[in-house]
Amino acid sequence: MASGKRHNVWIVEDDLFFKESLEDLVSTEENLELIHSTSSIEKALEGFGKYDSPRVVLQDIGLPGLSGIEAIPLFKERYPDVAIIMFTIFDDDERVFVAIKSGADGYLLKRTPGADLIRGINEVLEAGAPISPTIAKKIMRMLAPAKKKDEKLTKRELTVLSYLVDGLTIDQIAEKLFLSRHTVDTHTKNIYRKLHVHNRSSLTSKAIRDRLV
């Protein structure tokens, strides 16, 4: 990115090696200025009013004492315009979701290449939301509509199901139950619909797995 306005960066990271890597990375960028780098949220909070306000905060999600998630609202309250990028080793579903709901502006894995980290910082500076691809996929899964629950089978449908699992044909089931073929066929279609399956093998597997027979 071309030189111009320099954006203040704070780093909160307890992994010394990764913290130093972030410091070196930020220091090489003309549009970024490293203002404060520390190993805990408590030490970062001591910097409120002491150091120039941050435009971007790069912080670990799992820190000793106050966690990175707990720190998000504290930073946002003191510095409303701050952009916070969370770093983590693991793309843990629950913590990702909690961090985003708490106001994190980006979420990157620590194994993200340096060039992509810088790209992520520049992205939040332009009101973007950098997220590692594997984490983005998890978020999409979490936000996807929940699958419909299986409808409860009637007593007659359970009986038909047991015969289907045993391998009987529609005609054989109709004969055993003294029903018309059409009636058994209707029950079978309802069973497939309610259990969200499309063939006999899937029906059998689901019936056994869910202990319906």
pLDDT at 145: 62
Task: Find where tokens 């913290």 sit.
Answer: 19
Closest C-alpha to 11, from 48, 59, 51: 59
Task: Find where tokens 């996929």 sit.
Answer: 137
138 & 163 share domain: no
Return left, alpha or beta for 167; rule: phi > 0 is left, psi -120 to 50 is alpha, else beta: left
122 & 201 share domain: no
139 & 159 share domain: no
Residue 77: CB atoms within 10 Å: 10
pLDDT at 1: 46
30 & 87 share domain: yes
Written as six digits, the tokens of 189 are 């279609």
pLDDT at 143: 66
pLDDT at 186: 95
139 & 166 share domain: no
Do residues 106 and 129 touch, judged by C-beta distance below 8 A?
yes
**pTM higher than 0.75 for the full model?**
no
102 & 139 share domain: yes
pLDDT at 91: 64
CATH of the domain at 62: 3.40.50.2300
In a domain, 148, yes or no: no
23 & 104 share domain: yes
- What CA–CA distance (Å, rounded) separates 157 from 186? 10
Task: Choose the final residue of a domain: 143, 176, 194.
Answer: 143
CA 162 to each of CA 115, 152, 191: distance values in angstroms, whole numbers, following the listed order: 59, 15, 11
pLDDT in tens, the chain (213 residues): 444 689 999 999 999 999 999 999 999 999 999 999 999 999 999 999 999 999 999 999 989 899 999 999 999 999 999 999 999 887 665 677 788 888 999 999 999 999 999 999 999 999 888 988 888 877 776 666 656 666 889 999 999 999 999 899 999 999 999 999 999 999 999 999 999 888 888 888 888 888 888
pLDDT at 144: 65
Give the residues across from 34 on adjacent strands: 9
In a domain, 2, yes or no: no
For Cα atoms 118, 123, 124, give the angle at the middle one, nearest 5 degrees.
Answer: 105
34 & 137 share domain: yes
CATH of the domain at 180: 1.10.10.10
Range of the domain at 63: 7-143
Total count of residues recorded for the chain? 213
